[in-house]
Structure 1
Amino acid sequence: MTPAELSRTVLRSVRGAVEARELVLAEGALPERVEVAPPPHDGCGDYATNVALRLAKDVGAPPREVAGVVAKRLARVPGIAAVDVAGPGFLNITLGGDAPAALVREVLAAGTAYGRRGRLPENASPGADLTSPPVDLRPAPGPRAAAVADALRAIMEAAGEGARPGGEAVRPVPVKDTAGGYVTAEELLARLGRDEMRWVLLYPAAHDHVRVPERPVQREGNPRFLVQYAYARTCAVLRNAHDLGVLPAGVDEAAAEQAVVARTGAGAATGPVDGGAAVPYTSLHAALAAYPAVLEAAARLRAPDRLARHLEVTADAVLRFLASCPPLPAGEQKPMAVHRARLAVAQAAGTVLANGLTLLGVSAPEHL
């Protein structure tokens, strides 16, 4: 269950409670959408929502009482394992046991099309410039406006938005170096290289100034490097799994073999695909599930920085997942179902990182 699906599920539960007169709400007071997000602390379920706090005043009841009514309905929904009322009236929602595996299967089945609503150009590869069919955006002078317009064409096409006759102007924001002088695209490219240049121009929000580094920094403190490094780590894990003859779980054997071959260029590993071991819902699952909504918001708000920042969050979650849930057996340990399940999560994470980097026009290197 994705965050968008869960949001609609919560809203349906609220509507059901109103229709059953379990909650008395004036006409027009029902919200059109409900915010759900991963909780700020571990041990508080997979998602949290403050819908009861928002409704309490209109209902005329304490937030915890409203939360209790909604919680009872939510707990009966297939795919939701538990709903707890916390604090002043927050709802902490734990998804059912198959939710993590179902999400991974969805990502792996969609592949490069995951999160997209538009048509994927043929023979697209990580780092490709996806701008066909073009969205008519008119970049203002300057390297940042040009980069934003280029990225938005790809993002809006992926989100299913067509051409816009007459075009939309991209806000011109001058780019200055640390000395305060204006910098051209040619100077940025020579100093930073294409990947770092595009990331530096796309990562800040529209109202923020660009901070141009003296040179690319190849460490995890650099968000661009962090994202590319996390993607390369998923590729390395899958290469090592291939050498051990371990296939990811969650997809059929043929698809898994094709994925290994595509990434390694070598012959496919053999062995049964076993999805019997469950991997708990983690912050990485939450980031993967949120990717389609982030992509839609980036297109709707004309904000490629939203996609860049979500990739940073996803990359951080990838590295924490690989450290806490090793996808490969250690030492003399034999490959088990749980390793295959974790490998599938790593493969899904690599898919999302590559998809996002591609839309930003930044390469997704398999080796760093």
Structure 2
Amino acid sequence: MTPEELSLAIENSLNEALAEGQLELVEGADRPQVKVERPKNRDHGDWATNIALQLSKKVGKNPREVATILSERIQQIDGVTKVDIAGPGFLNIVLDAAAAGELAKTIVEAGKSFGTTTELEGKTINLEFVSANPTGPIHLGGTRWAAVGDSLARVLEASGANVVREYYFNDHGGQIDRFARSLLARAKNEAAPEDGYGGEYITDIANRVLEANPGALESEDPQEAFRAAGVEFMFGDIKKSLHEFGVDFDVYFHENSLFENGKVEELLEKLKESENLYFKDGAWWLKSTDFGDDKDRVVIKSDGNAAYIAGDIAYFQDKTKRPENPADLAIYMLGADHHGYVARLKAAAAALGDDPDMVEVMIGQMVNLVKDGKPVRMSKRAGTVVTMEDLVDIVGVDAARYSLTRYSVDSNIDIDLDVLTKQSNENPVFYVQYAHARTCAVARNAATAGVERTAFDASLLDSDADSELLAVLGQYPNAVKEATNFREPHRVARYLETLAGAYHRWYGNSRVAPQGEEEVSDLHRTRLWLNDATRQVLANGLGLVGVTAPEKM
């Protein structure tokens, strides 16, 4: 029995209690949704629900009285062995072995769809992440967003959303000018500008510009020649690095297009009619303090020109008004120095007449590499920062993606290169991938021994190891749901580590292939179902974090 099936059965029990008058909602009260979860202490049962606590005030009864009414009905559900009332009104539910074991068959038959939902079906989510300026290779912060952003996109898609992965290509402003001056100086064999960029990649890009356009230095506007070609080469390198990291985007949006096609100017006139803007000291101001900003922001300067935030507003409007895939929700994944943007972007939505909740902003913290107990501070290629290529060269794509995704984005993280290069259980990605490889090895050995998934007797899955593994497998849909609702794909990675641990323990206690002269039995066949169910969930979960599921290691 899956947690969803049990929740539905309890929901039906509640409906019956309401229909028969045992429980009556007070006027105006809404009915809470039934949810089940695993108790922290497995001795308390297979599943628990706090529906009695949620209902008590809504039906005018104390929680234990509600729990008593519901427990008598839940006890009648097929597959439920026992229902206990704990504490102020928690319901702890024990399933019989057959009901619990059915989950293995359910997972295998569901295959890749196990854990997916239609909760976000019909909703288009624009997910903007990485968006590194095309002035150098992607640094570790951008690498973290690449891993987390792509994983979040996969999680949202698993919940039914139509996700548009978007890269905001910043090709407008002072940083691009500094990049162009740096390339030009390098081509002339001059020192880099004081505010310019260093590193071997500048030499590489400058040489490529000259190779493509040998007359660039003698052109009418050399800086523009190096800017245009240099940005194109640099962005091509960024795209290539991301693709090799397993990350591709549906939309590459050029910031410059907002200014070239007149969208910003057109928007400025429209914004003057918004109640969220006001005129003061010759300028137009956005009431961003209404949304938590520390001060209101100028949108139209006193000279009539657009302030930087005008581009942000125009960009949000573009996302939500496109002919194809207009966003119902826009999620921005920004760096640690962008806290102020949360209020500004919500205020921008309000200024356009949209719901501020159409905007979500995720702020990511810093990443540090550690080797031999000391921080790794510099890249030879980039000159000042460690890049995506540096990390991948040392540990590989899978370890890099997994290690960056398994932490909450709210936390600063230290990536220990010594751990990630180990082929041992100390390395979390190895631990999880090895569990998947082990399930494949078990299946191969079973096939050699003549064990097939022909018979299935769920009641045979009655050992403690079986119960523990089934319990963890049952938590996968909720892990995906929480990762979706909280925008936290690290919950899937952490779940996989728990599942890997349960499987490794089960493996040590449960033989799938017969030993010696032992004949193949239904116990062996049923255990193969459970082994293969674990393989499926490991593969599904690894897919959501963008990491391969190897069959051999």
Q: Give 1:137's match in structure 2, choosing from 122, 127, 142.
A: 127
Query: Is residue 2:47 matched to residue 1:78?
Result: no
- The change in CA–CA distance for 1:87 and 1:328 in structure 2 (over 3 A counts) is farther
Q: Give 1:177's match in structure 2, choosing from 369, 374, 380.
A: 369
Q: Give 1:198's match in structure 2, choosing from 388, 401, 414.
A: 401
Q: Which has the higher contact order (CA 8 A, sep 6+)?
A: 1
Q: Deviations over 1:22-43 (max 9, x none)?
A: 2354245454323321222334
- The change in CA–CA distance for 1:2 and 1:188 in structure 2 (over 3 A counts) is same
What amino acid maps onto 1:236 in structure 2?
A
Overall identity of the aligned pairs, in %: 38
Q: Deviations over 1:150-177 (max 9, x none)?
A: 2223222232111454653223333222
- The change in CA–CA distance for 1:135 and 1:12 in structure 2 (over 3 A counts) is same
- 2:177 aligns to what? none
- 1:121 aligns to what? none
Query: Is residue 2:20 matched to residue 1:20?
Result: yes
Shift of 1:329: 3.0
Q: Distance in 2 between matches of 1:14 and 1:143?
A: 48
- The change in CA–CA distance for 1:201 and 1:274 in structure 2 (over 3 A counts) is closer
- The change in CA–CA distance for 1:240 and 1:94 in structure 2 (over 3 A counts) is same
Moved more, 81-90 or 301-310: 81-90
**Equivalence map 1:208-287=2 (5 Å):** 208-215=411-418, 216=420, 217-248=422-453, 253=454, 273=455, 275=457, 278-280=460-462, 282-287=467-472
Query: Is residue 2:69 matched to residue 1:63?
Result: no
Shift of 1:117: 4.6
Shift of 1:61: 4.4
- 1:207 aligns to what? 410
Q: Deviations over 1:242-299 (max 9, x none)?
A: 1211113xxxx4xxxxxxxxxxxxxxxxxxx354752136232233233233223323
- 2:239 aligns to what? none
Unaligned runs of 5+ in 1: 119-133, 254-272
- 2:150 aligns to what? 150
Query: For 1:35, what is the secondary structure of its paired residue?
Result: coil
- The change in CA–CA distance for 1:9 and 1:243 in structure 2 (over 3 A counts) is same
Q: Deviations over 1:291-319 (max 9, x none)?
A: 23322332343221121111112112212
Q: Distance in 2 between matches of 1:364 and 1:147?
A: 16
Q: Distance in 1 between matches of 2:449 and 2:143?
A: 46
Indicate conservation of the 8 Å contact 2:111/2:536, yes or no.
yes
Moved more, 293-302 or 274-283: 274-283
Shift of 1:143: 0.8
Q: Distance in 2 between matches of 1:5 and 1:290?
A: 13
Shift of 1:192: 1.6
- 1:262 aligns to what? none
- 2:358 aligns to what? none
- 2:481 aligns to what? 296
What TM-score does the superposition give when structure 2 sets the normalisation length? 0.55
- The change in CA–CA distance for 1:110 and 1:24 in structure 2 (over 3 A counts) is closer
What amino acid maps onto 1:168 in structure 2?
I
Query: Is residue 2:168 matched to residue 1:168?
Result: no
Indicate conservation of the 8 Å contact 1:135/1:157, yes or no.
no
What amino acid maps onto 1:349 in structure 2?
T
Q: Distance in 2 between matches of 1:64 and 1:335?
A: 49
- 1:123 aligns to what? none
Q: Give 1:316's match in structure 2, choosing from 496, 501, 516.
A: 501
What amino acid maps onto 1:191 in structure 2?
I
Q: Distance in 1 between matches of 2:423 and 2:395?
A: 11
Q: Distance in 1 between matches of 2:37 and 2:460?
A: 22
Indicate conservation of the 8 Å contact 2:7/2:35, yes or no.
yes
Indicate conservation of the 8 Å contact 1:2/1:290, yes or no.
no
Shift of 1:357: 0.8
- 2:34 aligns to what? 34
Indicate conservation of the 8 Å contact 2:428/2:497, yes or no.
yes
Q: Distance in 2 between matches of 1:275 and 1:337?
A: 7
What amino acid maps onto 1:198 in structure 2?
R
Indicate conservation of the 8 Å contact 2:44/2:92, yes or no.
yes
Shift of 1:136: 4.1
- The change in CA–CA distance for 1:35 and 1:240 in structure 2 (over 3 A counts) is same
- The change in CA–CA distance for 1:225 and 1:31 in structure 2 (over 3 A counts) is farther
What amino acid maps onto 2:430 in structure 1?
F
**Which structure has the larger Rg over C-alpha atoms?**
2
- The change in CA–CA distance for 1:324 and 1:59 in structure 2 (over 3 A counts) is farther
Q: Distance in 1 between matches of 2:109 and 2:449?
A: 24
Moved more, 344-353 or 319-328: 319-328
RMSD over equivalenced CA pairs, Å: 2.7
Q: Which runs of 4+ in 1 moved over 6 A?
A: none
Indicate conservation of the 8 Å contact 1:71/1:91, yes or no.
yes
Indicate conservation of the 8 Å contact 1:117/1:160, yes or no.
yes
Query: For 1:212, what is the secondary structure of its paired residue?
Result: strand
What amino acid maps onto 2:428 in structure 1?
P
Indicate conservation of the 8 Å contact 1:52/1:90, yes or no.
yes
Q: Distance in 1 between matches of 2:24 and 2:112?
A: 45
What amino acid maps onto 1:365 in structure 2?
P
Q: Distance in 2 between matches of 1:315 and 1:284?
A: 9
What amino acid maps onto 1:189 in structure 2?
V
Indicate conservation of the 8 Å contact 1:200/1:210, yes or no.
no
Q: Distance in 2 between matches of 1:168 and 1:326?
A: 47
Q: Distance in 2 between matches of 1:244 and 1:277?
A: 23
